[in-house]
Amino acid sequence: MNQTEFPTNIRIHVTTPISCKSSEAKPRTELQFLEISLGSKMKITSPDTRNSMLAIVLVCILCVCTDACPEKPTGEVTFVNAQNLSYTLTDNEFADMTNFEFQTTYLGYKSQGRRLPDNQKHSYKVGNYAAPSSIDWRKKGAVTSIKNQDSCGAVEGINQIKTGKLVSLSPQELVDCSLGIDNHGCRGGLMEKAYEFMMLNGGMSLEEDYPYKGRQGICNPIIARKIAASITGYVRIPERNETAMKAAVACQPIAVAIEASASEFQLYSDGVFTGSCGKKLNHGVVVVGYGEDKGVGYWIVKNSWGIGWGNKGYMKLHRGSSDRSGVCGIAMEGSYPVKDF
């Protein structure tokens, strides 16, 4: 399908005044066009993307007739912060988006449940040692800077631990080149499929050689063969077991999936997040440590929405939930790469 680029603002010209038939309608005959703010340029690369954009357009037309606009979530900031919880919200760069727009734009992880592994060569083993009470792999030089998309963070971590070299790998290579192993590029892929691609390809290239573009592109096999880091396998952490997660994170950063749909997640600023969120996994992140704050356990989560979200791109997510799936389902689909050489 040919890509169609939308400008930052879409203008739908209305040649005649909008007339609404509902008894509750509030016609605005002076309005000559609707302007829908998308926040950034977008590429239409699939029917799913096109349909999502059309849905936004139709919702905004409905707003004109009924004032039934989806509320932007900024009203939550004052309400939540006034409760003196363990976390705070803020009017960040995502505050001007409806929650629907936010989910459509930033969430896309394709959870398929835990099927039999295709290329898993290592089984999970708990080490015969007590995990430390806290660890932060950022302080150990095993974490790269916040990226716009980060399926590579756990690989960068184990590569640094094994070789002493911290390299920033190319998420764009995964977007462009891993479709052949049933991954989904910009439409949301599986982290374990990313590991399988790295194993089949022999590794991954540097981000500076294969820079991020924010859209699906054609795989460049020449650059993809400029290997900067490699793995020999990956391990699935036992499901719904935060003790096993802690033991794994004590050894290296790990990849997990969470549900990030909640508007409180959208507006998160700082502190240990204990807010309401579900377990319909739709976003991949990297856990780079854990600790406690005033007796409340947390995971250090590295996100991929830039430094304008959370605490410079990071979140403290509650650890030790009574729900074995973990807050936002964080304990449901954890994994980490293995490098034997």
Question: Residue 158's pLDDT is what?
Answer: 76
pLDDT tens by residue, 41-73: 344 444 555 555 555 555 555 544 444 455 555
**Strand partners of residue 270:** 88
Mean pLDDT of 199-219: 89
pLDDT in tens, 4-48: 444 444 444 433 343 444 333 333 333 333 333 343 334 444 455
Residue 101: per-residue pLDDT = 87
Q: What is the mean pLDDT of the chain?
A: 77
Q: Which tokens sit at 298?
A: 């947390």
| 321-329: average pLDDT | 96
* pTM given for the model: 0.76
In the chain, domain spans: 4-69, 99-338
Query: What distances in angstroms separate CA 70 from CA 32, 100, 276, one per listed residue?
Result: 21, 8, 20
CA 271 to chain CA centroid, nearest Å? 19
**Chain segment 271-294, per-residue pLDDT in tens:** 999 998 999 999 989 999 999 999
Residue 146 has pLDDT above 70, yes or no: yes
Give the Å distances, CA to CA, from 291 to 132, 163, 271: 9, 26, 12
Query: The tokens of 105 are what?
Result: 């734009």
pLDDT for residue 65: 46
The model's confidence at residue 120, banded by pLDDT at 50, 70 and 90, is low
Q: What is the mean predicted confidence (pLDDT) over 75-97?
A: 91
Q: What percent of the chain has pLDDT over 90?
A: 46
The answer, yes or no, to whether residue 325 has pLDDT greater than 60, is yes
Pairing of strands 314-318, 268-273: parallel
> Among 3.50.7.10, 3.90.70.10, 3.30.1450.10, 2.60.40.1260, what is the CATH number of 99-338?
3.90.70.10
Greater pLDDT, 70 or 173: 173
* Contact assessment for residue 89 and residue 264, using Cβ atoms and an 8 Å cutoff: yes
